[in-house]
A and B are shown apart, each in its own frame.
Chain A
Amino acid sequence: MPMWLAVARHEFQGLLRDHRFWWSCGAVGLLLLAATVAGWQQARVAHRERAAANALAREHWVTQPPKNPHSAAHYGVYAFKPQTALAFVDAGVDDYAGVVAYLEAHRRNDLTGAAAQDGRAQRWLPLTAAGLLQRVLPLLIIVLAFDAVAGERESGTLRLAASLGARPGALIAGKLLGIGGALGLALLPAGLAGGALLWTLDGAPWEAGRFALMAAGYTLYGLMFLALTLAASARWSSRVALLSMLGFWAVSGFVVPRVASDLAARWVPTPSRPAFESAVARDLREGIDGHDPPAERLKAFEARLLAQYNAKRLEDLPINPYGLLMQESEEHSNRVYEHHYGRIWSAFERQARLREIAAVASPGLAIGNLSMALAGTDVVHHIAFAEAAEQYRHPFIKTLNEDWAYRSTLATDEAYTADAGLWTAMPPFTYRPPALGEALRRQWLSLALFGVWCGIACAALSWATRRLVRLE
C-alpha cells in the first residue's frame, strides 16, 4: 500500500474513532440537514404560492369585464417572480429583493414584497445550507485539522514517522485525503438529502447540473480551507496555526464582506428614493403627458397626425387619436425609465463587481457569489427578472393603446370597449432565468478568484511540505 494511502487510512480511522469528531461533525451535519430541509420546505411553499399567484393574476386579467383598453392598461397585471428550485440551498438576495412586479400604464414600478422590508430576514448568518457551508464549515475544518501536523511534530511522532520512511509529501497528502474523506462522509447525508429533496421540486432536471456544480464548488472550498489549515499546521506550532486560521476565518468570513459592501456603496452611490423619483419626474415632463398634455405639444402632435392621415379635422381621422397620444406618452416614459433604471442597474453591477474583487481577501465571497449565481438568486437574476417584467410591459400597454387607437374613432370613443377577446389574446407573462452559461459568464471574476484561492492553497501546502522536508 502506498505510504500516502496508509496515512490517509490511519487519519480517517483515527478521526472516526474520535468522539470530538463525531460531536462536531454531528452538530454541523445536523444543522446542515435541518437548514436544507427547512429551506426545501420554504422553497416548496413559496414556489407553489407564486405559481398559484401568477395563475390567479392571469385569471384576474382575462376575466375582467369589458372596458376601454386604456382603462385596462391602468388596471394592469401582476407578475410574481418564480422561486428557483435551488433557492432552498442558497436564498441569496431573495429576501432583500422584491418578488412582485405591478405592470401598468405610464409607470414603471419597483419590485415589491421583499421579506426584509417587513422584518422577516436576519443578517447575522443566513440559515441556509450555503450560509452554513460558507461560514461554519471552515471553522469545523480548522478545529479538526489545526494540529494535524503540528500536533505530531510537538509530540515527536512526526520524527518517528519520518524515521519509518514516511515522506512529508505522502504524509501531507494522506492527511488531506484522510481528514477530507472523514469530513465528506460525515456531511454526505446532508448532501444526499439536498439532492433527493431537489428532485421533488419543479424544475429539478434543469437544476440538477447546477446542483452538481454547487456541490463540486463547496467540496473544493472545503478542500481549499483544509489545505490552508494543513499548510499552517505544517509551518507553525499548533497554537499559532490555530490562531492564524481562526483570524483568517473571522476576518474573511465576517468583516471583509461588510467592508466590501460599504466601500462599494460609497464609491458607486445610488440615489435616494425621493431624488430618483424627482429625476424621473423631471425627465417625464420633457415629454408629453397623455392625460394632461401641454397645449403646444398637443397641437404639434395633432398636426403631425392630421398630416399623416391627410385630414383636416381630428374628427375626420379613421383612428382614435387619444390611443396614439397615450402611446406617444408611453414611448417617452419608457425611454425615461430605461435611462434611469439603466443607471441603477449599472450601479448595482459595478457594486457587485467591487464585491467580487474583494474575494481577493475572502475565498468565502468568491464561493458565495458563485453559489448565488448557480442558485439563480444573485443580483444578476434579480435584474433579469425586473427587466423581463418591463420588457413584457411595453408591448402589453402598446397593444392596449393601439387597440383603442385603431378600433375606435373620436365618434365611437365613448362607447368603445374591448372584451375578453382582447384580454385572452394577450400572452401571459413568462420568465426564463438566465441560462447556466450566462450566469457563470457574469461571474467570471469570482470563478477566476476562486481558482486563484485554490491555487494559493495548493502552493501553500506544497511550500509547507517542502519546508517540512528541510526541517527534517
Chain B
Amino acid sequence: MWKVVFRHEWRRLFTEKSAWLALGALLALGLFGALNGLRWTSFQRAAIRDFQKTAAERLAAYRESVLELERKNAPDAEFDARRPLIAGAFRVFQPAALPPAPFSAFAIGDRDLRPYLLRVTTREAMPQTEIANPLNAATGWLDIAFVVTFLLPLLILALSYDALAGEREQGTLALALSQPIAASALLFGKLAARAALLIGGVWLTGALAFALTEVPIPEALLRLAAWMAAVGAYTLLWLAVAAAVAAQGWSAATSAVALAVIWLAWGVLAPAAAAGIADFVAPGPPTTELVNAERTAERDAEARAQELAARYLAEQATPTPLKPDDFSIQSLARRAALDAALRPLREADAQARRRRHELRRQLAWLAPTLLMQQGLDALSGADDDRWLSFREQVAAFQRAWRAGFAERALRNELIRSDEIATWTPFAMQERPLGVVLGRLGLACGLWLGLSAALFGLAARRLADGAALLL
C-alpha cells in the first residue's frame, strides 16, 4: 500500500513549489561548492608547482656553484658550498608537499588551515603556512561536503516536518486512514517519495559536480560511488528522525521546532562540543612554551658550544678529520643538543595532536554530521588522518635526510655535482583506499541501523496511538 502512497506523493511533490525550491537550492549550492572545491584544488596544485619550481631552481643554482668549484679545483674550506652541512642547512631544500587527492573538489575540509608544504633542510621541516585572511579561515568554505553534511538535513527536515501533521491539520488524515492503509505505511510512503527526490537530487548534483571538476579515473569513480552510498545512508537517517518526530502526533509547528532543535543540537552543537572536548582533554603545550623553550635551549647550546662539540664527537662512531671548532661540527653538536633538550616537549605536542585527533574520531560516532564530515573529507583526501600521516612521513624523511648529511659531514665527504640529480625527493605514501571505505562503510552501517530503529519506533508508536492522531 505504501507504494500507492509513494506514487501519489511523488506526483504531488512535483506540483509543489517547495520541492522545486529545495531541489534548486541543492543544485545551486552544490555546484557553487564544487566550483569552490575546484578553485581551492587548482590553487593548491599551482602552489605546489611554484614551490617545487623554487626548490628546483635553487638546486640548479647550487649545482652550478659546485660545478664552478670543481672546475676551479678549489680547496675545501670551512664554509665551502660543497660541505654537506652548508649545503643541507643553507643552500638547498627539499620540497615536501601533500598533493590534492582524487575527488578533492568534493571537500576542502581543513586543507586551507593545515600546512601542506614543508621546506625540508637538515635543520628542520619548516611548514609554509598559507597566506589566508583569518576571517575567511574562521568562516570556512561552502564546499559540497558542507552542503551535504549541514544543509541537506535542513532540506530533509523542511520537506518532511509536516508529513503527517500537515494532513491532519488539513483534515485529510482521517480520510486517508479510513482507507485500508496503516498510518505507518502512509508516513513511510510519503517519506520514501521525499527520500527519492532528495537522494536523486544530491546524486544528480554530485554527478554534475564530478563531471565539472574531476577526471573520471577508476579510483575517482570508486570514490564517487562511495560518496553516493554515504549520502544515501545519511539522508535515510535524517528522514528516520523526521519519521520519529512525525509519529509523536504533534502539530506541524511543534514538529518543525523539534526538528530544528534536533538539527542544532545533534548536527551543530554536538560536533562543536566534540572538538571542544578534544581540545580540553589534550590541549598540548602552549605555543608560548614551545617558542621560549626553543630559545632557552638555543641559549644554552650557544653558551656550551665547545663542550657540546667535544661531547658530540666523543659519541660518534664515525671518525672525523674536522676539528671540534669547525662550523659543521659545531652545527651538528648544537642541533643534537637542541633535539635532546626539546624532545620531551615536542613529543608531548605530537602526542596531544594525535590524542585530539583520536578523540574527535571517537566522539564522531555520537554526532552524525561530524562523522559524515570526516567521511567525506577522507574520501577527498582532506582528512586529519592523511595530514597527520603526511607530517609523520615528512618528519621521518627529514630525519633520514639529516642523518645522511651528518654522516657525510663527519667524514667531510664533499658534495659532488654529479650526485645532486640523484638525491631522492620526498614522495607521499598514500594509505590504501580500503581504509577510508572501511570506516565510511561502518558509518553507513551505523546510520542504516539507527534509521531502522527510528523507523521501527515510529511504526510502533503509530500502531499504538494512531487514534491519537485523529
Residues on A facing B (Cβ under 8 Å) = 31, 38, 46, 49-50, 52-53, 56-57, 60, 64-65, 78, 80, 92-93, 95-97, 99-100, 110, 112-127, 135-136, 139, 143, 146-147, 238-239, 242-243, 246-247, 250, 254-255, 257-262, 264-266, 270-278, 344, 347-348, 351-352, 355, 378-379, 382
Q: Is the CB of B276 within 8 A of A96?
A: no
Question: Chain B contact residues (Cβ within 8 angstroms of A): what range?
Answer: 35 or more
Q: How far is the CB of B267 from chain A (nearest CB, A)?
A: 9
Comparing B131-139, B201-209, B226-234, the segment that makes contact with chain A is B131-139
Q: How far is the CB of B178 from chain A (nearest CB, A)?
A: 25
Query: Which of A57, A65, A135, A250 has the most chain B CB atoms closer than 10 A to its own CB?
Result: A250
Q: Is the CB of A258 within 8 A of B299?
A: no
Contacts of A50 in B (CB 8 A): 288
Q: How far apart are the CA atoms of A115 and B303 in the complex, in Å?
A: 32
Q: How far apart are the CA atoms of A64 and B299 in the complex, in Å?
A: 8
Q: How far is the CB of B167 from chain A (nearest CB, A)?
A: 13
Q: How far is the CB of B386 from chain A (nearest CB, A)?
A: 13
Q: Is the CB of A276 within 8 A of B131?
A: yes
A–B Cβ pairs within 8 angstroms, 8 of them = A53-B288, A53-B291, A123-B139, A124-B271, A127-B273, A147-B253, A246-B260, A273-B130
- In order of increasing CB-CB distance, the 8 nearest A-B pairs are A122-B275, A113-B287, A272-B47, A53-B288, A274-B50, A93-B134, A258-B142, A123-B140
Q: How far apart are the CA atoms of A255 and B140 in the complex, in Å?
A: 11
Q: How far is the CB of B309 from chain A (nearest CB, A)?
A: 17
Contacts of A278 in B (CB 8 A): 50, 54
A-contact 0/1 string along B25-42, CB 8 Å cutoff: 000010010001001000
Complex partner residue of B272 from A122, A274, A379, CB under 8 angstroms: A122
Q: Is the CB of A99 within 8 A of B287?
A: yes
Q: Is the CB of B273 within 8 A of A52?
A: no
- In this assembly, does B261 line the interface, its C-beta being within 8 Å of a C-beta of chain A? yes
A-contact 0/1 string along B180-200, CB 8 Å cutoff: 000000000000000000000
Q: How far apart are the CA atoms of A305 and B215 in the complex, in Å?
A: 62
Q: Is the CB of A265 within 8 A of B133?
A: yes
Q: How far is the CB of A26 from chain B (nearest CB, A)?
A: 13
Once A92-B138, A238-B253, A258-B141 are accepted as A-B contacts, the answer to whether A117 and B113 lie under 8 Å apart by CB is yes
Q: How far apart are the CA atoms of A347 and B261 in the complex, in Å?
A: 38
- In this assembly, does B405 line the interface, its C-beta being within 8 Å of a C-beta of chain A? no
- In this assembly, does B46 line the interface, its C-beta being within 8 Å of a C-beta of chain A? yes
Q: Is the CB of B142 within 8 A of A124?
A: no
Q: How far is the CB of B39 from chain A (nearest CB, A)?
A: 7
Q: Is the CB of A120 within 8 A of B279?
A: yes
Q: How far apart are the CA atoms of A78 and B271 in the complex, in Å?
A: 35
Once A242-B253, A246-B256 are accepted as A-B contacts, the answer to whether A255 and B287 lie under 8 Å apart by CB is no
Contacts of A46 in B (CB 8 A): 286
Q: Is the CB of A143 within 8 A of B261?
A: yes
Contacts of B127 in A (CB 8 A): 117
Q: How far is the CB of A385 from chain B (nearest CB, A)?
A: 12
Identify the closest chain B residue to A99 (Cβ). B287
Once A49-B286, A272-B50 are accepted as A-B contacts, the answer to whether A119 and B131 lie under 8 Å apart by CB is no
Q: Is the CB of A52 within 8 A of B288?
A: yes
Q: How far apart are the CA atoms of A264 and B114 in the complex, in Å?
A: 21
Once A262-B142, A274-B128 are accepted as A-B contacts, the answer to whether A379 and B135 lie under 8 Å apart by CB is yes
Q: Is the CB of B272 within 8 A of A270?
A: no
Contacts of B283 in A (CB 8 A): 120
